[in-house]
Amino acid sequence: ECRARGVFRENKITPLIGDRVKIRENNLDMTGYVEEIMERETELIRPPVANVTQAVIVMSVKSPSLNLWLLDRFLVLA
């Protein structure tokens, strides 16, 4: 289990799922601290994830009927 250090809160940096990080381990109780967040290659806002290399968009064609506006929005976000 790792926790982010307070320096991230001070710099208004939020660790995201998928972030590549450097950690400092505490071998006594199997915990640690996130020391550094590496540069992100990509970042999605919804859901909040980082370093995504592939996205799969799945939508119904028949029931409910296909919503092309929503499909366009998902494609733009991806």
The angle subtended at Cα 63 by Cα 59 and Cα 67, nearest 5°, is: 50
The pLDDT score that the predictor gives to residue 46 is 79
Instruction: Check whether 78 has a pLDDT greater than 80.
Output: no
Which residue do the tokens 């996205």 mark? 55
The pLDDT score that the predictor gives to residue 5 is 81
What pLDDT, in 10s, does the model give residues 39-74?
A: 999 988 878 999 988 889 999 888 999 999 999 988
The pLDDT score that the predictor gives to residue 12 is 87
One-letter amino acid identity for 75? Answer: L
What pLDDT, in 10s, does the model give residues 17-28?
A: 999 999 988 878
